[in-house]
Amino acid sequence: DNVDLVPLINHISDSLKPLAEELGVGIQISAPDQPVVVTGDRDELVQVFENLIENACKYGQSGGQVRVSVMPSGENDGDGVEVSVSDNGPGIPREHVPRLTERFYRVNVEASRSKKGTGLGLAIVKHILTRHRARLIVHSTVGKGSDFRVKFGAPQR
Ligand code: ATP
Ligand code: MG
């Protein structure tokens, strides 16, 4: 199916408003006025962005900002699509980053004990993205924040 990521992400952000409010986090979306369409399974893509945005709210800075941007990737029309979910939270120490998508892997269980989770979210995200031939790229700087970026390839012609 063809899925327009713009309303999908707006909808997810609305559904996470109560959590964001509870944590004092603002969710800021930037997206083009035109549809940004990828080929895939709508429900699965909802799971992907729900987990990434929820994580950014939970593990980001309380009272901070979560930014979600939907953008074309590359120079040319039809080069593919990129979605970035970033926070200005504590970040993730470098040695943990490659393991984030392992099942049940959680960073600093001590500190995140208060934040409920099973450690499955990113494993599911990775699984779904592989099926969509999309990639997850994580940039994180301790003390500054994290950027989880999903790259969809150019559509098959
Ligand atoms: P679940 O998603 O199953 O409810 P979870 O959120 O703990 O549980 P994942 O979504 O797989 O599991 O995330 C794994 C771990 O990665 C988290 O427990 C947290 O330690 C770390 N993490 C994820 N996103 C961020 C982020 N934006 N900033 C800092 N740490 C993060
Ligand atoms: Mg999660």
Ligand index nearest the alpha carbon of residue 125: 1
Q: Where are the alpha helices (DSSP H) in the chain?
A: 5-15, 17-23, 42-59, 109-112, 121-131
94 CB-contact burial (10 Å; exposed 0-12 / middle 13-18 / buried 19+): exposed
Q: Which residues lie at CB < 5 A from ion ligand 2?
A: 51, 55, 121
Answer yes or no: is the C-beta of 129 below 6 A from any ligand 1 atom: no
Indicate the pTM of the whole model: 0.95
Q: Which residues of 16-52 are buried (b: 16+ CB within 10 A; e: fewer)?
A: beeebeebebebeeebeeeebebebeeebbbbbbbbb
pLDDT (tens digit per residue) in 9-33: 999 999 999 999 999 999 999 999 9
Answer yes or no: is the C-beta of 52 below 6 A from any ligand 1 atom: no
Quote the pLDDT of residue 112: 57
ipTM of the complex in this document: 0.99
Task: Choose the residue to mutate in 66, 122, 125, 127 for probing ligand 1, maximizing ligand atoms within 8 Å of C-beta.
Answer: 122
Answer yes or no: is the C-beta of 106 below 6 A from any ligand 1 atom: yes
Quote the pLDDT of residue 73: 83
The single-letter code of the amino acid at 9 is I
Q: Which residues contact 46 (CB under 8 A, 6 or more apart)?
A: 8, 11, 12
Task: Please report, for residues 40, 81, 135, 152, the alpha-carbon distance to residue 60 in angstroms, rounded to integers and kept in the order given.
Answer: 28, 24, 22, 25
Q: Which residues in the chain land under pLDDT 70?
A: 77-78, 109-114, 155-157
* 71 three-state secondary structure: strand
Q: Which tokens is 16 given?
A: 């996470």
How far is the centre of ligand 1, averaged over its atoms, from the C-alpha of 72 (Å)? 26
Answer yes or no: is the C-beta of 100 below 6 A from any ligand 1 atom: yes
Answer yes or no: is the C-beta of 55 below 6 A from any ligand 1 atom: yes
Strand 81-87 with 134-141, pairing:
unpaired
How far is the centre of ligand 1, averaged over its atoms, from the C-alpha of 121 (Å)? 7
Quote the pLDDT of residue 116: 83
Find, among 100, 83, 105, the residue nearest to 13 by Cα. 83
CA distance 111 to 94: 17
